Structures are given as C-alpha cells and as structure tokens.
Amino acid sequence: MADPMKIRAAMLGDKVEVKVLMSHIMETGQRKDAKGASIPAHFIQNVTAVHNGKTVLSAQWGPAVSTNPFLSFRFKGGKAGEKVAITWTDNKGDKRTDEATISA
C-alpha cells in the first residue's frame, strides 16, 4: 500500500498555497535490479486536488516527474480550517487520497 502524502495548505493573502510531497518511486521502466532484470515502469499518471467539492487542480504526469514528486499551486476561495484533498492514481491502478486542513 502506498505511503501517505505530506500536504501543507496555508493562507497566503487571500489565496491558499498548497505544497504536496507524494511518496512514489516514479519508475521509468529502464532501471535494472541487482540481478539485471528490468524494473517495470511505475508512475503517477493523474493528480487531482479538491476543495469544498470543487476540483482546484488536475494534472497528468509521465515518468519524467521526479521520484517522490513535489507539487505546489495556489487557489482562491479557501479559508483557514477548511480541507484540501489530494488524490493520485498511478499506471498500475494504485491510488491514494490524503487531506490537509488549511492553516491561517
């Protein structure tokens, strides 16, 4: 099972600034293991961020996004105490959703 994300969401003026670290190998499909066998590609393909039922960001990624991906964005309309939920889905169908509370 995938490890939890680290999400920071904080007010920056009238906007919410979100910073996310995701635990994912983002495997390119070309590396070899100790025995010389190819390690299959394994990477996050889709990321969505939802606030109050509204999608505030959606992304499509390829394996060229760095391992343990980092993402930062900003949106309007959020308030301290509300929640932001991030979901990723990878090419093997693994999925993970985590939430963070917006801090002042």
Partner 1 sequence: MNIQRRQALKSGGGMAVMAVAIVAGLIRPQDALAADWNGPAFAAKTVADTVKAMGGASAADSKAIQITAPDIAENGMVVPISVSSSLANTQSIAILVEKNPSTLSASFDIPDGTDPFVQTRVKMGQSSNVYAVVKADGKYYSAVKEIKVTLGGCGG
Partner 2 sequence: MERAAVVRADNKDKGGNMLKPYLVAAVLLATAGAANAQNTQQEIERYRQMIADGNPAELYEAKGEGIWKQKRGPKQVSLEQCDLGLGAGVVKGVYAQLPRYFKDADRVMDLETRLVHCMVSLQGISEADAKRNPFSTADRTSDMESLVSFVTAESKGVKMNVSLSHQKEREMYQLGEKMFYFRGGPYDFSCATCHGEDAKRIRLQDLPNLTNAKDAQRAYTTWPAYRVSQSTVRTFQWRLFDCFRQQRFPALEFTSDASVALTTFLAKNANGGTLAAPALKR
List interacting residues with partner 1 (CB under 8 A).
Answer: 15, 26-32, 40-41, 43, 45-46, 54-67, 69-77, 89, 91
Q: Does 92 bind partner 2 (CB under 8 A)?
A: no
d(CA 1, CA 55): 25
Q: Token pair of 37, please?
A: 């066998």
Least CB distance to partner 2 at residue 63 (A): 12
- How many whole angstroms separate alpha carbon 101 and alpha carbon 79? 10
**Is residue 34 classed exposed, middle or buried when 0-12, 13-18 and 19+ CB atoms within 10 A define those classes?**
exposed
For residue 4, the partner it binds in partner 1, partner 2, none, with Cβ less than 5 to 8 A by kind, is: partner 2
* Whole-number Å distance between alpha carbons of 74 and 88: 18
Query: Least Å distance between CB 23 and partner 2?
Result: 4
Which residue in the set 23, 45, 48, 89 belongs to the binding site for partner 2 (CB under 8 A)?
23
Positions touching partner 2 (CB under 8 A) are 3-6, 19, 21-23, 25, 31-34, 39, 66-68, 70, 72
